[in-house]
Structure 1
Amino acid sequence: MSDTVKGHLSASLTVVIWAMTFISTKILLKSFLPIEILFIRFLIGFFMLTIASRKILPFKGWREESYYIIAGLFGVFLYYYLENVALTYTLAMNVGIIGSVSPFMTALISRFILKQGKIPRVFVLGFICSMIGISMISLSGTLNVNPIGDGLALIATVCWASYSLLIKKISGFGYGTIATTQRIFFYGLLFMLLVLFLTLDSFDLSRFTRFGNVGNLLFLGIGASALCFVTWNFSVKNLGAVRAAVYIYTIPMLTTIASVLILGETWTIKTFLGILLTLAGLVLSELPNFLRQRKK
């Protein structure tokens, strides 16, 4: 099996699990603060990666180390903290659908900031189409509208796009995916600690006696953090940041279905049309890559 095929398979596994994280987080927010959920899940993930790696990456100087630090800030701390806070204001399906903008953000940052690649006109058309769809979803009714929550979710996509591009650079350092992910988690946890100490006045251990809380935390820590960050970083290494990001397109549909079935959230006709427009825009943005591959 080629590395490219492995990259596609690992990306597929990642998005299936990540689509469920919005549901688990939404449930945990009834008992935990956003920063508590974030810190606990990545602490579990860090310990699991430490056990799996059995080694620590060597320190090669602050220039190389800065990539791990910034990746931990954007991909582990800021992205998930903003996402968790967004879930306290808006619906899980909104956060999942808005998160589908990440591929666009990745391509835009790659082109205009890193000066890599080109953006075809059809990509711009797809972006506009997707943004119209997202607007329809956010404004589909009074129960679904929350500018703060939806805005935070959109900012989070910029953080994730930046993280994915950083991972592509880090993958060139020549270290194993598990070990590099462990180092990134370490710095992400350091950033969380500061917010944790400023936010918490007390810590209620009785919350861990509830099976639902423990089960969802283990799912987020072991599955969605330790496992999925390794599989995602592996996908980016083998497919590239923009190409791997295509798989995020499937998350909105999976999250929306799970939100309706598990959380009992409702959707309107505008929401449904918004989903279709968003996905249509994402398909349009990938059309140049598809046609290019057909010619080879």
Structure 2
Amino acid sequence: MEDRTKGIIYMLIVVTIWGFSFVATKVLLEHLQPATIAITRFVIATILLFAICRKKEDYRKDERWYVIIAGFLGITCYYIFENVALIFTTVTNSSLISATVPVFFLLTVDALRRKFSRPKKYLGAFIAFVGVGLLILNGKFNLELNPLGDFLMFGSVFSWVFYTLIIDRMGSRDVLVVCRDLTLAGTVFLLPFAIYEAQDLRIDIVSQHDLLVVIATLIYLGVFCSALGFLYWNKAIKLAGPATTTNGIYLLPIVAIIGDCIIIGNMPNIYVLISAGLVLAGVYISEHN
């Protein structure tokens, strides 16, 4: 099997895991606060990664900084920007802005190398984004401007764009070791936010059932979404390339809709089916030579 094919398989696995994480996070927010959820899931991920990998990597000085910055951008900044943004903006706005990651990644790469990509890539990105927009808006144009929240969401977008660029630079290193170390770095940077939130800590667990749900969901987010998710995503970047891997973000809303259908029982309508077709067509056009 070719490396690129393996990378796409890793990307699809992660997209599936992360797609279902929207439902998991929604459940947890009924019981815990955002920073508490973030720090807990990444503490679990850090412990797991250090348990399965005790190898010490001999980083160069610049690579050590890459790992620290990647952890800060991909874990700390991404989740803090997103969680705080949701206080000030709508889920619709935040979802649409998140879906611009592949577009801004394409523009950023082209700006850095001072060369435009093939027009088909831009056409595919546009079609996929239209599909995501139709999926999220569900046929109703009901956007509201929330300057502070929307601005913070763009902070989340650019955090992920530059995280991806940095991970691509670490291609020659052991992906498991790099993932372990950047997860530790990101978790350490999350501590101040968790401590600040602890001043007004809210934990709404009133029954044994609630406790079991919280524990199971945190394990899912920590083990699968954080530890394995970041590990396989970074492997996908290494094998399939950052552009192809980043395009997988377009597929996240589709997986989330499937999860919503399976777990919560909300059946998709015609807009969901049309938007799914547009997303798949856009990704195909963007990736097809």
TM range (shorter): 0.7 to 0.9
- The count of aligned residue pairs is 283
The equivalent residue for 1:36 is: 36
User: 1:164 deviation in Å?
Assistant: 1.3
Alpha-carbon distance between aligned partners in 1 of 2:93 and 2:276, rounded to the nearest angstrom: 10
Instruction: Report the Cα distance in structure 1 between the residues aligned to 2:81 and 2:67, rounded to whole angstroms.
Output: 20
Question: Do structure 1's residue 127 and structure 2's residue 125 form an aligned pair?
Answer: yes
2:102 corresponds to: 103
CA distance in 2, matches of 1:140, 1:152: 24
1:130-179, CA deviations, whole angstroms, 9 ceiling, x for partnerless residues? 4444555555578964544666545423222221111110123x3x2111
| Cα distance in 1, alignment partners of residues 230 and 93 from structure 2 | 23
Partner SS state of residue 258, structure 2: helix
Q: Distance in 2 between matches of 1:283 and 1:98?
A: 22
CA distance in 1, matches of 2:29, 2:269: 25
Q: Which residue of 2 aligns with 1:201?
A: 199
- Deviation of 1:225 after TM superposition, in Å, equals 0.7
Query: 1:162 and 1:273, CA in 2 relative to 1: closer, same or farther beyond 3 A?
Result: same
- 1:89-134 deviation line (CA, Å, top 9, x unaligned): 544x875665443222222211112x17642223333334444445
Give the letter aligned to residue 57 of structure 2: L
Partner SS state of residue 84, structure 1: helix
SS of match in other structure, 1:171: coil
Q: Alpha-carbon deviation of 1:235? A: 1.2
Q: Show CA shifts across 1:170-205 (max 9, x none).
A: 123x3x211111111122112211222222215467
| 1:1-296 correspondence runs (5 A) | 1-58=1-58, 60-61=60-61, 63-86=62-85, 90-91=90-91, 99-113=98-112, 115=113, 118-136=116-134, 139-140=137-138, 145=143, 147-148=145-146, 152-172=152-172, 174=173, 176-203=174-201, 207=205, 210-263=211-264, 276-286=277-287, 290-291=288-289
Does the 8 Å CA contact 1:138/1:146 hold for their aligned counterparts? Answer: no
The DSSP-based 3-state class of the residue aligned with 1:25 is: helix
Output the CA distance in 1 between the equivalents of 2:253 and 2:93.
8
Unpaired segments of 5 or more residues in structure 1?
A: 292-296
Tell me: CA distance 1:283–1:86, structure 2 relative to 1, closer, same or farther (3 Å). farther
3-state SS, counterpart of residue 100 of structure 2:
helix
- CA separation of 1:54 and 1:230: change in aligned 2, threshold 3 A: same
Contact 2:31 / 2:204 at 8 angstroms: preserved in 1? no
Q: CA deviation at 1:43?
A: 0.7
Q: Under a length normalisation based on structure 2, what TM-score does the superposition of the two structures give? A: 0.82
Letter in 2 for 1:57: E
Distance in 2, matches of 1:240 and 1:48, equals 26
Q: Tell me which amino acid in the other structure corresponds to 1:177.
A: V
Q: Distance in 1 between matches of 2:25 and 2:196?
A: 21
| Distance in 1 separating the partners of 2:85 and 2:139 | 18
